[in-house]
Chain A
Amino acid sequence: MDSALTEFLGFLKEGLADTGPFTAKPYYDAPGDTLFYFARDEQSYAKRLNPLLTVFLATEDDSLVGFKIKGVQRILRRMERMGMERFVLDHQKENVHLTIFLEFALVAPPDDPATASFEGSIGQFADVVVDTRELQVT
């Protein structure tokens, strides 16, 4: 096995050795312009709801584990056009509820009407906060 792969596997094992508790927090992937959120540390698979929103469903029972929102910069631009002050939290000027991004992403109708039921489940993430400074493209 090549040493580079050994280093990669070592990095994974090192991370897995951390026995601390799981923390649910959003992550912005700048190259893909995608916002990820996993609410639980559980085996899941991706199911596309519409061109902007994909949900991660538990392999075990199809419950909602997380989601990813594509086209975040476009959503941010829309928010800025409407006035960012409408969306940021009063006490923390840089923070926006994740649900705002979700609502923008849900404007597109579902690819499959059968998946529309997940739109309601997403409400459980309404209180999650995103720091918009982390969404800036570097």
Chain B
Amino acid sequence: MARFFRFDARRALSTLFFALVATACRIICPPFDAERRFRPCGRALLTTNAPISDGLLDEKPPSSFLLPPSSFFLPNLSDGPLMTNIPAPPPGFLAFTGKSSDGSRQEQFVIAKDGILGHFRDARNKTKQMEGFLVPEVLRHPSAIWIDLLSAGKRDWMVYAGVPRGKFLQDPTIEIPCPPGQVFAVYIGGRRATSGHLVVDSWEWLEADPQRSDFPIDHASRYGRRLWTQH
């Protein structure tokens, strides 16, 4: 009996040792590729699974892909942070995940291929296309989220602002530091797509608030209510 317990303890210690070594290896040498920044980073919002149980997502899309403004705040699409039954984006749209406006879970976003992204592509504006790589990152890890932009017709619009880990130069394999004193802002339209997705409208760099380097300048006078803040 005593030998059995001794063997069991040794095996447990051995398992623990290898688990620690494996964890250390992953921390010291993470797999490198240009797209790793978009992988879930173990933050709380990316950790659980819950199915979408919202009837609105089962609707067949009408001719317009947008829902009326009143539907901006849909009931929670999931009970938990991670959406597993991701609805298909409307035709002509590209989808990706980000943080929900209250910061509690994952949210689905889409962007039109023939919207401003398509324009930058047609115009061969490589700088603005390159900035597109930062959009999913800032939507996943914003510094803060505001609603009700104080511009005409932008009520119910949201802005996700954040400082990406780096920006890309010339092509997505060359990453350089972000411009100092600037914050990346992604604007979300005030109407959801019929598929339930939030719709990315545009993005730009803004000067940072001198008092708070991860917030855009004049955020208090430009935007309405702050829905979520990282710190």
Contacts and interface: CB of A to CB of B under 8 A. Distances in A.
A31 B113 contact: no
B202 A23 contact: no
B199 A31 contact: yes
A113 to B, nearest CB: 15
B228 interface: no
Contacts of A51: 151-152
A117 to B, nearest CB: 17
B201 A31 contact: yes
Nearest to A2: B97
**B: contact size bracket:** 35 or more
Contacts of A43: 127, 179, 205
A70 B127 CA distance: 22
A129 B66 CA distance: 30
Interface residues of A, number: 42
A83 to B, nearest CB: 24
B38 A5 contact: yes
Given A31-B201, A47-B207, A5 B127 contact: no
Q: Please provide the 8 A-B residue pairs with the shortest distance between their CB atoms, ordered closest to farther.
A: A15-B121, A45-B205, A4-B95, A27-B119, A8-B94, A46-B204, A5-B96, A31-B189
Interface of A: 1-2, 4-9, 11-13, 15-16, 18, 20-25, 27, 29, 31-34, 36, 38, 41-48, 51, 56, 59, 70-71, 74
